[in-house]
Structure 1
Amino acid sequence: MDATKILIVDDQKYARKMLRDILAPQHFMVEEAGNGREAIAKTRDFKPDLILMDLMMPDMNGIETSQLIKGDARTATIPILVVTASKEKDNLLAAFAAGVDDYITKPFAANELLARVQANIYKRDALVLVEQKKADAGIILDLSLSIASTLNAVEILQLIVGRIAGYVNVRRCSIIRFSDESHGHVLASNDDPTAKGLRIELPRYPELQEVIRTGEALVVRDAKNNPLLAEVRQYISGVDFDTILVIPIHHEQEIIGALLLRSAGRETSFSSHELAFCQSIADAAANAIKNASLFEKVLEESDELREMKEKLEQELREKTVYEGLFEHASEGLMVLNAAGQPQYVNRSAAEMFGYTRKQMLDMSLQEFLAEESLQVGMENHINFFLGREFSRKYDVLIRTASEEKRCVTVSVSTHRLEGSYVILSLMDVTLERRDQHLLAEANERLKALDLLKSEFIYTATNDLRLPVAVLHSNCLQLRESDTDNLTETQCEHLDAAVESCDRLMDLIEELLDSSHFDLKDYALTIEKQSIMEPVREVYTVLAPFASGNGLKMTVNPLQHDVAAAFDSDKIKCVLTNLIGNAIKFTPRGGEIGIWVDTDDLELKISVSDTGKGIPENYRTRIFNEFYHLKSAKGSAMKGSGLGLAVSKRIIDAHNGRIWVEHAPEKGTTFSFAIPLAH
């Protein structure tokens, strides 16, 4: 506690020394003035707690000096004790008229002087305390009147921090609400009203944690160098405050928050009176803080909460519009409670069920559901209210008022209305489901017909294989025998017959391969093996044909064999189709390249040629069955149109992919890729 300061005013030096000798041992802080003018100056600078004033002084006597001191608002409350040898009543009356508080006559005893000094200091402190209480009462009354004028908790807290900051004269006053042991939120701040809802991390505020731990008010002086804030010094190095006051806010013996004050440039720390005042305001604000329900709902994430607030406001603005839309919506709408009893039914729902709205409100969900859908509908309803997994959209059969069964799609809203209600959207899909059922039946019949078609193609082509083979063999024998007796025209016809038999044999084999897929009995014989074996076999068979057509064919394999899981015969069929097409459509003098590549997941084989390429408009249809490319003159190019379709089916069966890349007038590249692992 600071020492009591006393100013001795007397023109006689020995008198001042005598008074000092009496006061000094009592630990008073003593200052002296030799005349009235010096006393006035030192009163303003020294700010004494009491003045011992001599009445008789030259130039300016004690009465005049006291009058000037009491007339200055800055020094008016300082008690003045007159020390005089005069017993003239007029002098004493004049002194009291000038504002003197008390007097003592010379000679006096030391204990008498000390008693008078203490009595006047006590009287001064009591008057100051009364004035402070009067001022505090005025502030609290004013604050109460302001609070009574609003029911908004946010406005109440904002008023509190504003008044405290003005009264205590601090830079920032905030109210913090503690959410848990590590988080808090700003409920109000005098210097930034928009800070409300701001989330704070309590480990970044050691002063708040200390108040939570002790439950008592805390003053932190020299904040930037205080050991308590050592761990967060890097975060406060640039702040503009040096003193912190934290007042705990209690509610039912629980610390629910704190009043946080920060100041800069204060000559003294917070006084005991300021601490008591702030604590009384904090205690009074506890209920307002506890009842700030809006903040309780928005303390987790301020950004998310603002969005929720905006959404809520939007919903409230549109409430009237929605009510009209619900009533006149084309879909049926029902609101059910946990027992399955309707609380709201719109016009469309009533028409759908064939009841009046009043009748439906007296019924239950069990009465609406047909027996076939009773278990499904009730289980989903119960799961919704128990917080279990539930179907958000499903079909049920309902019973109408005329005992007709209708199929209805039920959509369950995930939004839970206040009071534990569920919103159901109902759409009559009886005709739609009936059409879907008929369509499914028609699709099954089409699949059966398609299977019958495939069986017919397989049987017919299988039956054609033998007679065509006989015809092909006889034509070959006839052409290889002595043809001297045939005319040139007859030889040309014979060559055309052989070529036609060749094409017919190829077509029969491709039709048989294609029909195998359609009959669903096409089995792959998958083995892990080297891809280079089928490549070499196909190359060996087709290389002479390429050479005979004036083409150069090369294989560009990997430096080592790559093992993959595939059906060797079927992959050879694909390679034969792709390389055969390249030979067929590449003019003489061209080149055909076979490329083998791999990565971590796939094996890739490409067959490129230097033909005229494939026009862009044929690219998406090239793998369709019986699809032929057109020549430049518009005629179909030779081929059955099944080779690429069969190849695509084989690659699809391997869980692979096949594609074509082309550059008109520069050539075409067909590629396929299959997984390295089956």
Structure 2
Amino acid sequence: MKFNIQWKLMASYLFLVLFIGGVFFAYLSHTLNRHLTSEIRQNLTTETRLTRMIAHRDIVRMRDDAPVVASAISRATRARVTIILADGTVAGDSEIAPGDLKGLENHLDRPEIQQALESGSGEAIRYSATIKTPMLYMAVPLETATGEKGFVRLSLPLTALEQAKGSIRTLLAASLAIALLVALILSYILSRVTSRSLRTITILAKQIGKGNFSRRVPVSTRDEVGELALVMNDMAERIEQQMERTSAERNRLDTILRGMGEGLMVSDANGMITLVNPAFLELFSLDRNVEGRHIIEIARHPALNDAFKAIVASRDERIEKMTLALGKEKHVLTHWVPLLDNGELQGVVAVFHDITDLTKLENIRRDFVANVSHELRTPVTVIKGYAETLLDSLMESDPERARKFIEIILSHSERLAALIGDLLTLSQLEAGNMNLEQATVRPEQVAKHTMELLEPKAAQKRIAVDCSGVEGAPAVIADPGRLEQVMVNLLDNAIKYTPEGGSISFTVKADNGMVRIGVKDTGPGIPAKDLPRLFERFYRVDAARSRNEGGTGLGLSIVKHIIQLHGGTVGVESEPGKGSEFWFTLKQA
């Protein structure tokens, strides 16, 4: 059971009153008991001496006069009077008839008689078997006028004393009960007044515990409770300021963590995750319930767990690259930093940089350099070789053969010029330096003009080109020259890879304000693994055939960048053995 401060204060007040009252009760009871006993003894001593004087005067023969004198004195003193001979024989007793005195035992060995013999006065308190009650006995020596010696003894029953004590105890108990009742009322009032401020402080402390720091305790006194209220108010204000600063820091940290492109993970020394940012969750394709889980649980990749174990063992910073199989292969650069406090490892911070795109770009750059070098080397080597042959006087010795060499040199120089031109065009497109003269264009007209340009090349391979698919197609917003360049590249590729006797057709589909235009052929198709890289520079599915056909490997990349400048997209749909369809989208006019 829980007791509040008011009841504790009230109980302490009552206990104090009860303790003091008990002490006073015991003290007064003892003091009054001693005082009453002393008074009774003094009175009985005085009466005993008076009785001796009367007995000395009135008794002539103790055996004859003692019963009468004892009865007379007893009526006057209201005490039991006993006259005893020197040999201990009872001569008279106010409570016993004279005829019954012979049956009494000898009183010489009574304590009060023995004290009277020794000191002239004796007293004793004991239970009287004669009258069945505790008695106070007082005895003094007696000598009659005739010279007989003996003792006169007065006794009083202690029943009156016990009654007096009981009355006193009752009075004291009643006084104590009244005092307790008054103390109960006063302690309730005082404890309530005293605990009011403490209750207010308790309420404030509970509010602070719940996060409400705006409450303040009213300061009504200047005692310790008032000082406590001031301290609590100051503490609440400081905590409120600190919480505001902490909240601002937390918000700033959350903003920084959310804005970080790199994944961040913080764990304790045992590998239990305590903090991650959204970039980390996105990198590892996780939900938000990762705090409290072990590193090995969120990404079952040995390299990750091995790196954590290594940083725990060495307690040094560690930077390494990892390739993680997370649905698709990802290249990650990790930076591990140990959290040390006085030499003790408290946790580990890991930053994950997703360098998949950088790695891909690096691979593309490396392929680009290799492809450009290869593409340039062939025409340059041919031109150089034939030019050197011509310099060796072939012009004069064999003019016909020299003319053939010059035609070869011209062909390769044109190929070289086309390659350089495509590179310059692609560079302009990627740099965004190419200005588009956009206008409303009819895809049907551009497709027919493109077909007329490439009709001789298609006729050589007996390939049928069908433009009926674009008849009545919605107009689009595009640069007419660049749109024609796109269609020429797509149709030229289709003619190159379509076998003799095949067919090529144009397709059109309008949806959500965009017009999709496609070039579909009946060629050999493209393997699925090559589809994602078809629009990269110099990427070829069949490199040998592409070079034999005179392609530069940049056409599809140029198509992609031109369409992207127009705000459209490009794509390809193909299945080996069933042909391919390259398509692009433009805004509908």
TM value normalised by structure 2: 0.36
TM value normalised by structure 1: 0.31
**Higher RCO (CA-CA < 8 Å; seq separation 6+):** 2
Higher fraction of helix: 2
Greater CA radius of gyration, 1 or 2? 2
